[in-house]
């Protein structure tokens, strides 16, 4: 698999780790090699090492790439892995419009040449009460927002997934209204934890995980982390989001991980970490309380779920 120069991470340990992955070794080996390599990160990695519990262990490449919710490729967890082979993530452009100085379309390569790709190891908590720990590569969304030059009137950011029913068989069926849409408040979008990811485990982003570029907002349920983004709009009103439109009584705009606010059909108090036998307690804001709780201090989280 070809890896772009821009996606090579600055960390020695990571390069070592990637050699194993490039040889596409068995996932079992991956799991043991990588998790021990990760623990040896040496420079300024506090932004994520601090945010992971000592009990957190990386999920394997196989787990991360064969168990996905990406309805564009089908509604079963294995569908994205099985049905995404025809998807062509290159070339890729991202259209920037709405309340910006100048609406424009960026070539992905151009964006990547202007940002620093870094490692971010995050917990991902799905609204369905399972979770994983994923080593992403990407850059802070705030960097792209700076490039986009939004007007001061812009209070929200909306994201749209690509619509290509011929390459994404799930889009041939009206399970949800295509294209998939998501959104963030501007301060959430600017938070240093919020990234646009372009790779995982040192690979270019696999198709089933949202190639070539996707959002990762680790303190929110996974469905907020929209995949295969082609358009970003800056707005002054709260944008429509796909799951909220589909079932507003179940999925809110905020979708912050919150063990105290249950989904109407199941409890959010616990979760199954993929690869583990016993359920774990779900953490407030998925364990990123320190970084993001201040964003919501005036918000009733039971009402704005």
Partner 1 sequence: MFSTRNFNRSKPVLFILILFPSLLWAYQFVTGNLGVNPIEKLMDELGLMALRLIIITLMITTLSNIKPLKSIVVIRRMIGLFAFYYVCLHFSTYIVLDHFLDIQFIIQDIIKRPFITFGFISFLFLIPLASTSTNNMIKRLGFKLWKKIHYLIYPVAILASMHFYVLVRADKTEPVIYMGIIILLLLHRIFKRLTRPQLAQ
Q: Does 176 bind partner 1 (CB under 8 A)?
A: yes
Q: Does 279 bind partner 1 (CB under 8 A)?
A: yes
Residue 40 or 78 with smaller CB distance to partner 1: 78
Q: Does 280 bind partner 1 (CB under 8 A)?
A: no
Could you tell me if 167 and 89 are in contact, meaning their C-beta atoms sit under 8 angstroms apart?
no
Q: How far is the CB of 107 from partner 1 (least distance, A)?
A: 33
Could you tell me if 168 and 72 are in contact, meaning their C-beta atoms sit under 8 angstroms apart?
yes
Q: How far is the CB of 257 from partner 1 (least distance, A)?
A: 17
Q: How far apart are CA 207 and CA 133, in angstroms?
A: 19
Among 11, 87, 106, 130, binds partner 1 (CB under 8 A): 130
Q: Does 128 bind partner 1 (CB under 8 A)?
A: yes
Residue 75 or 113 with smaller CB distance to partner 1: 75
Q: How far apart are CA 137 and CA 118, in angstroms?
A: 5
Residue 61 or 288 with smaller CB distance to partner 1: 61
Q: Does 63 bind partner 1 (CB under 8 A)?
A: yes
Return the range that interacts with partner 1 (CB under 8 A); candidates 29-37, 86-94, 137-145, 259-267. 259-267
Residue 27 or 194 with smaller CB distance to partner 1: 27
Q: Does 265 bind partner 1 (CB under 8 A)?
A: yes
Q: Does 267 bind partner 1 (CB under 8 A)?
A: yes
Return the range that interacts with partner 1 (CB under 8 A); candidates 37-45, 63-71, 85-93, 154-162. 63-71
Among 66, 93, 104, 142, binds partner 1 (CB under 8 A): 66
Q: Does 278 bind partner 1 (CB under 8 A)?
A: yes
Residue 81 or 120 with smaller CB distance to partner 1: 81
Q: Does 274 bind partner 1 (CB under 8 A)?
A: yes
Return the range that interacts with partner 1 (CB under 8 A); candidates 15-23, 35-43, 64-72, 83-91. 64-72
Q: What's the distance, CA 128 to chain centroid?
A: 16
Using alpha carbons, select from 149, 184, 192, 198 the residue that is nearest to residue 256. 184
Q: Does 272 bind partner 1 (CB under 8 A)?
A: yes
Among 77, 155, 185, 280, binds partner 1 (CB under 8 A): 77
Rule CB under 8 A: which residues touch partner 1? 62-63, 66-67, 71, 75, 77-78, 128, 130, 173, 175-176, 246, 262, 264-267, 270, 272, 274-275, 277-279
């Amino acid at each position: 698999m070809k890896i772009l120069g821009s996606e090579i991470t600055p960390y020695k340990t990571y390069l070592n780790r990637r050699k194993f992955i490039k040889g596409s070794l068995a996932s079992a080996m991956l799991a043991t090699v990588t998790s021990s390599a990760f623990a040896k990160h040496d420079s300024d990695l506090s932004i994520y090492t601090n945010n992971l519990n000592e009990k957190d262990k990386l999920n394997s490449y196989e787990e991360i790439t064969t168990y996905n919710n990406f309805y564009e490729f089908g509604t079963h967890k294995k569908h994205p892995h099985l049905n995404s082979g025809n998807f062509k993530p290159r070339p890729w452009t991202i259209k920037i419009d709405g309340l910006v100085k100048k609406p424009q379309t960026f070539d992905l390569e151009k964006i990547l040449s202007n940002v620093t790709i870094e490692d971010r190891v995050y917990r991902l908590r799905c609204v369905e009460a399972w979770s994983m720990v994923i080593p992403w590569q990407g850059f802070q969304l705030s960097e792209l927002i700076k490039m986009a030059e939004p007007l001061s009137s812009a209070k929200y950011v909306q994201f749209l997934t690509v619509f290509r029913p011929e390459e994404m068989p799930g889009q041939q069926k009206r399970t949800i209204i295509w294209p998939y849409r998501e959104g963030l408040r501007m301060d959430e979008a600017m938070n240093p934890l919020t990234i646009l990811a372009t790779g995982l485990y040192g690979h270019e982003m696999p198709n089933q995980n949202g190639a070539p570029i996707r959002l990762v907002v680790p303190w929110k349920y996974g469905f907020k982390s929209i995949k295969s983004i082609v358009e970003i709009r800056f707005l002054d009103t709260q944008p429509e989001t796909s799951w909220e439109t589909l079932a507003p009584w179940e999925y809110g705009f905020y979708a912050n991980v919150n063990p105290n606010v249950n989904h109407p059909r199941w409890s959010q108090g616990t979760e199954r970490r993929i690869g583990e036998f016993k359920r774990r307690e779900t953490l407030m804001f998925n364990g990123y309380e320190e970084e993001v709780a201040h964003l919501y201090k005036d918000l009733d989280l039971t009402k704005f779920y």
